[in-house]
A and B are shown apart, each in its own frame.
Chain A
Amino acid sequence: MSVSGPLFIVGTLGALSILLLILRRFTLIVAWVAAAAAAALAVCVSLVPLDQPFDLGPITVTLGEPLSVLGRVAVIEPVDQLPLVLISSIACALFLIAWRVLPRSNFYSSGLAILALQASALMVTQVVYAALFVEIAALLTLLPLHEPIVDREGNSFGGGARGGLQYMVYVTLALPGLMITQLLLEQFAAFPSDQSLLQSATVLLGLSFALLLGAVPFQSWLSAVSTDGSPPAVTYLFTVNLGTVWFLLLAYLETYGWLSRQVAFGQLFTVVGLIMMVAGGVLAASQDRLGRIVGYATLADNGAMFVALGSRQITGLSLSLVMLLARPLSLGLMTLGLDGLRRLGRGDDRAGRLAGAAWQAPWRTLAYVVGGISLAGFPLSLGFASRWGLYRLVSETSVFRAVLALVSSAGVMMGLVSNMRLLLSAPSDMDTGEVLDTPRVPMRRWREDPVVLAIIVALIVGTYVLGLFPQLLSGIAFRMAEGFTFFTQ
């Protein structure tokens, strides 16, 4: 029996997702099966030629064969390969990280279902279906996002549901714009002289992506999600979900070349990106909750990607892809630290209430700081290479804009430093009340899981090695950028 690539990917991941939901109490099996499935997808898509069939028992799979359902087509094109490999690799890594952090969670089954939907969004050829798949994936993300934290003693610490609620609202608000854009583009194909259709489509598309990527003034969901969401699920959302949205944006720019050829394109992307960077930096600097800093650092990072795209150069596109590749490592590290510190504070992540936590959970604190430094783009970290490239690129046209971008990184660093001052405060200071103006949370005795410790060390080493040798990542990013030709046409 011959099976097309899209059906094979979506069918396998969907079936496994249901199986893992049934087996969810066996965390070891579920986490490793989910990771293996995601890894298999990454390997399969990256190594098997699209036009070459391969046998899997009774079925023959051809990855490049299109799937047609009621006249709607999904197909893996060469430009989709690296994005598919990227999101499945990130998912694989996050399933392994979550293995020791999220016992008996539905993160693994939901994660595979979300991966199937995001892959569908990348493979489907019509805007309207991609938008619907992204929406369904976002709604499924809410399930693991607000699972209460359960510690080894069985105590659970719940957060609010505000983040998930805001995410649901903003993603749904983006849906009409994307769907109506499809109608307008169909109308434009029938009446090519009516330029107002294109203008309306541009505005709607821009607004929808601004909502999906948390551009200012729609940024509140980023911080809300990171404040009360489960840290591994937050990382999944900020890397797999947002990564897919970025690739969809690039795919639209590629498909509808007139979008990037509009005069205002570069200026609009640069200004929106700079506003996001400055807002992210300023807001991160003034936060006293560790989770919020994660959200605002991601906002600044998204802004940096917009600025890089606004340059209308292939270098800018490559830089934005380097940032996208670096984000999972930085965010994974940061949220692994956040998870431990939140457990230590019984669900509370206010730095004032966690004063002195660094002495009890030094590795988690280190993970949070190193991840934060990397996301801020501080020298020698993983994020620095792409940020340095961005400053140079922006300064070619305006030094003032480059300084603004630099200020954003400084803002995120200030937020990190001011909170670290509290986490690192000595026990004697806490006893005399010199540090705290709020009562300190009575902390539990903390013993680090050796597996989590090994993951933290591996991620820290990985972050610095890739920071010192950024060509390892930039090579992949340049290969990805070659697939998009909208800046070179």
Chain B
Amino acid sequence: MSPFLHWLEQFSEFVSVPAAWGIFVAGAVIYLISEWRVRFLALVIQYLFVGLLFAGIFDTRPEMALMKIIVGWLIAAALLLSARIRLDTVRTEGRLLTWATNLPFRVLVLLTATAIGYLGSQRFSLPYVSADLGLACLLLVVLAVLFVGTEDEDPTIVGVGVLNLLTALEVFYTAQDPGLMVSGLLVVVSLLVGLATSYLTVAEEVPA
């Protein structure tokens, strides 16, 4: 193993738990703040942490982890563009820190979901994956449930929820079977989800 790969393996082991929580905090920002420029930044940071997690899974092929980050950033850019088009037809205050509606309720739901995700990971260990990857999977699923379950009016957020679910699946499945075919197809699925979400965000704005 080359010194770089050895260093990368040790680094990814060290950062996998912080990366799992980093993913969750970035998701929480998307859930609590409704301004899309902030959400875009949070999504970019979330995919950076996702890449760190994948660096541990693809320990001999770091380029795969890099690809996950790049694909995530492409998706974030597509979502930002479609959100911009949507904003052009809807007047907003234009402030950078615009809290989402029903903030106290969201905070309560988020705290409850965090507790469920964390306690769940302590009590039930997911088969086939290490404890830190299991925690990351559970937190991603919690975020997906929050986004899909409580934001069904906003296509962009629902799309982010679907992407989080897919990321959880990718982490869980590729930890078992890190084959190129499955990883490649899952990347294609993620890209298409991003594109479809962008398209639906814009399509919804066509005047009836």
Which of A69, A132, A148, A169 is packed against the most chain B CB atoms within 10 Å?
Answer: A169
Would you call B189 and A142 a contact (CB within 8 A)?
Answer: no
Alpha-carbon separation in the docked complex, A132 to B192 (Å): 12
Contacts of A142 on B, CB cut-off 8 Å? 196, 199-200
Kindly state the separation between the CA atoms of A156 and B173 in the bound complex, as whole angstroms.
Answer: 43
Residues in chain B near residue A82, CB distance under 8 A: none
Contact residues in A for B94 (Cβ distance below 8 Å): none
In this complex, the interface size class of chain A, counting residues with CB under 8 Å from chain B, is 35 or more
Say whether A176 faces chain B, with CB atoms less than 8 Å apart.
yes
- Taking CB atoms, residues of chain A closer than 8 Å to B186 are 132
Instruction: Report whether B165 and A173 are in contact in the complex, using a CB–CB cutoff of 8 Å.
Output: yes
* Distance in Å: Cβ of B166 to nearest Cβ of chain A: 7
The answer to the question of B96 belonging to the interface, with a C-beta cut-off of 8 Å to chain A, is no
Question: Would you call B128 an interface residue if the criterion is a C-beta within 8 Å of the partner chain's C-beta atoms?
Answer: yes
Chain B residues with CB under 8 A of A175: 166, 169, 189
Contacts of B166 in A (CB 8 A): 172, 175
Find out whether the CB atom of A70 lies under 8 angstroms from the CB atom of B201: no
Q: Is B178 an interface residue (CB 8 A)?
A: no
Question: Given contacts A70-B181, A169-B158, A173-B165, are A161 and B201 in contact (CB under 8 A)?
Answer: yes
User: Do B208 and A140 touch across chains, with their CB atoms under 8 A apart?
Assistant: no
A93 interface residue (CB < 8 Å to B): no
Measured between beta carbons, the chain B residues less than 8 angstroms from A157 are 208
In angstroms, Cα B165 to Cα A161, docked, is: 20
Say whether B206 contacts A158, CB under 8 Å: yes
Contacts of A70 in B (CB 8 A): 179-181
Query: Is B81 part of the binding interface, using a Cβ–Cβ cutoff of 8 Å?
Result: no
Contacts of B159 in A (CB 8 A): 165, 168
Minimum CB distance partner of B182 in chain A:
A128
Q: Is A159 an interface residue (CB 8 A)?
A: yes
Q: A142-B199, A168-B162, A169-B148 are in contact. Are A160 and B169 (CB under 8 A)?
A: no
Residue B155, interface by CB 8 Å: yes
Q: What A residues does B179 contact at CB under 8 A?
A: 70
Contact of A179 with B169 at beta-carbon distance under 8 Å, contacts A136-B185, A161-B200, A168-B162 already known: yes
Q: Does A480 contact B (CB under 8 A)?
A: no
CB of B122 within 8 Å of the partner chain: no
Is A143 a contact of B199 with CB atoms below 8 Å? yes
Question: In the complex where A70-B180, A168-B162 touch, is A180 in contact with B173 (Cβ < 8 A)?
Answer: yes
A52 nearest CB across to chain B (Å): 30
Give every chain B residue within 8 A of A457 (Cβ-Cβ): none
Whether B63 is near chain A, meaning CB under 8 Å from some CB there, is: no
- Whether A129 sits at the interface, judged by CB under 8 Å, is yes
Does any Cβ of B come within 8 Å of A458's Cβ? no
Write the A163-178 contact mask toward B (1 if CB under 8 angstroms, else 0): 0110011001101100
B70 at the interface (CB under 8 A from A): no
B87 interface contact, C-beta 8 A: no
Cβ 8 A contact of A172, one of B193, B201, B205: B193
A146: Cβ under 8 A from any B Cβ: yes
Q: Is B107 an interface residue (CB 8 A)?
A: no
Within 8 A of A (CB), among B152-208: 152, 155, 158-159, 161-162, 165-166, 168-169, 172-173, 176-177, 179-182, 185-186, 188-189, 192-193, 195-197, 199-201, 203-208
- Decide if A347 touches B208 in the complex (CB within 8 Å): yes
CB pair A146 B203 closer than 8 Å: yes
List the A side residues contacting B188 at CB < 8 Å.
136
Contacts A129-B185, A132-B189, A183-B173 given; does A172 touch B165 at CB 8 Å: yes
The reply on A21 being an interface residue by CB < 8 A is no
Q: Hey, which chain A residues are within 8 Å of B180, CB to CB?
A: 70
B200 pairs with A164, CB closer than 8 A: yes
Give chain B residues whose Cβ lies under 8 Å from the Cβ of A173: 165
Q: 8 Å CB contacts to B: which residues of A127-159?
A: 128-129, 132, 135-136, 139-140, 142-143, 146-148, 156-159
Instruction: Knowing A70-B179, A132-B189, A347-B208 are in contact, say whether A164-B196 is a contact too (CB < 8 A).
Output: yes
* Known contacts A169-B148, A169-B158, A175-B169; 10 further A-B pairs (Cβ under 8 A): A128-B182, A146-B203, A147-B203, A158-B208, A164-B196, A165-B158, A175-B166, A176-B168, A179-B173, A180-B172
5 tightest CB-CB pairs across the interface, nearest first?
Answer: A158-B206, A161-B200, A161-B204, A139-B192, A146-B203
6 chain-A/chain-B pairs, Cβ below 8 angstroms: A69-B181, A158-B203, A158-B206, A161-B203, A168-B196, A176-B168
